Amino acid sequence: MPGDFTGAEAMIKDSKKFPETGGWGFAHWEGEKLVMNDKEASAACFACHLPMKHADYVYTEPALQ
């Protein structure tokens, strides 16, 4: 049985809203609310995703193709 929810991160694709981070916005859940990261936190997230530029900055593969 899974334990209590501890958190999750999200990437939201919108090249107009997030041009400085490859078109991606970064967010996290606080309880049941999705909260967008500020520019500083998003820049830190984006820096970690730079090695995956060839895959549109995404580390995982789509489940359905």
Q: How many residues does the chain have?
A: 65
Per-residue pLDDT of the chain (65 residues; tens, 9 = 90+): 788 877 889 999 999 999 999 999 999 998 889 999 999 999 999 999 999 999 999 998 877 76
Q: E strands of 1-65, at which residues?
A: 9-13, 24-30, 33-36
pLDDT at 35: 95
User: How much is the pLDDT for 10?
Assistant: 94
Two structure tokens written together for 25: 């916005």
Burial 41-57 (b: 16+ CB within 10 A, else e): ebeebbeebeeeeeeeb
Inter-residue contact 14 to 25 (CB < 8 Å): yes
pLDDT at 65: 63
